[in-house]
Amino acid sequence: MSKLRTQIIIVASLGLFSLLAAGFLAASQDAYTVYDGDSALTVRGNYDTVADVLAAAGVSVRPEDVVVPPLASPADRNTAVRVSRAHSVLVRSEEGTATYWTQQATLGAFLVEAGFSPQPATQIFADGQLVPFASLDETLLPEVVEIGRFVTVTIQDGGRQQTVRTAVQLVGQALAEAGIPIYAADRVSPPMGAWLEDGMVITVQRSFPVTILVDGRYIETRTAQTNA
């Protein structure tokens, strides 16, 4: 037998051995199934806990998510791991805006869980729709909740227009909340200190920068006047 043929046989044997070893290793590893919502994942390996299985599957969870069996439970290849995701709810109120995560199915149950205590006279909007106090427990969990006196106003700033919902009380506060800077020479109608009303249109007439010469000095300022 030639030396070259011997080398070929050795290489082929090593390759076959590697394939057999890989197959044996795969067969010796347990297969775990993870259901993440509607998605099903399979991961192979030897793991101690459910948390290890999720980490191997690349599945991260929030504290509000429900994992069955619990994360600290021993991993069992005969028991699928199920992850029930919490839903996000954006809450706007006079105190500000915050995102909550919940497993609750109704608006009323969510408000109790989140620590809100609305009164019968409190205005509560679910995805922009006013919800009567008596219907909170029958209203499905919305994506956006607004608590308090909210109004819808339209802001016209030059050629730009945007419609916003806000719980602030004054025109100036609404402009600041919308991220619209106002210069001293700008004209705002209604005035900055006017109370907001639902359906109000706020108009901003922009000033423009000018340079004036006074006693030999150049002064940079702004004006809304169009004539000298």
Name, in order, each residue with C-beta under 8 angstroms of 216's C-beta and a sequence gap of 6 or more: none
Pick from 36, 39, 38: which is nearest to 54 by CA? 36
- Residue 24: predicted pLDDT: 47
Task: Provide, rounded to the nearest whole percent, the portion of the chain with pLDDT above 70.
Answer: 80
The mean pLDDT value for 7-27 works out to 52
The mean pLDDT value for 23-43 works out to 80
Q: Collect contacts of 31-38 with beta carbons under 8 A, ≥24 apart.
A: 31/77, 32/56, 32/57, 32/75, 32/77, 32/80, 32/81, 33/80, 33/81, 34/59, 34/80, 34/81, 34/82, 34/83, 35/80, 35/81, 35/82, 35/83, 36/83, 36/85, 37/83, 37/84, 37/85
Q: What is the CA radius of gyration of the chain?
A: 32
What one-character DSSP code corresponds to residue 79? S
The residue behind tokens 């029958």 is 138
CATH topology of domain 3-84: Ubiquitin-like (UB roll) (3.10.20)
**pLDDT tens per residue, range 200-212:** 999 999 887 767 7
Question: Alpha carbon of 105 to those of 27, 56, 188: distances in Å?
Answer: 43, 31, 44
**pLDDT tens per residue, range 85-104:** 999 999 998 788 899 999 99
Is it the case that residue 36 has pLDDT exceeding 70? yes
Rounded Cα distance between 80 and 61, Å, is 16
- Residue 195: predicted pLDDT: 95
Domain boundaries, the chain: 3-84, 92-147, 151-208
pTM for the complete prediction? Answer: 0.64
Q: Is the alpha carbon torsion for 86, 92, 95, 98 positive or negative?
A: positive
Is it the case that residue 18 has pLDDT exceeding 90? no
- Residue 204: predicted pLDDT: 95
**Are 92-147 and 151-208 equal in CATH topology?**
yes
Given the candidates 3.40.50, 3.10.20, 2.60.120, 1.10.3470, the CATH classification of the domain at 92-147 is 3.10.20
Q: What is the CATH number of domain 151-208?
A: 3.10.20.30
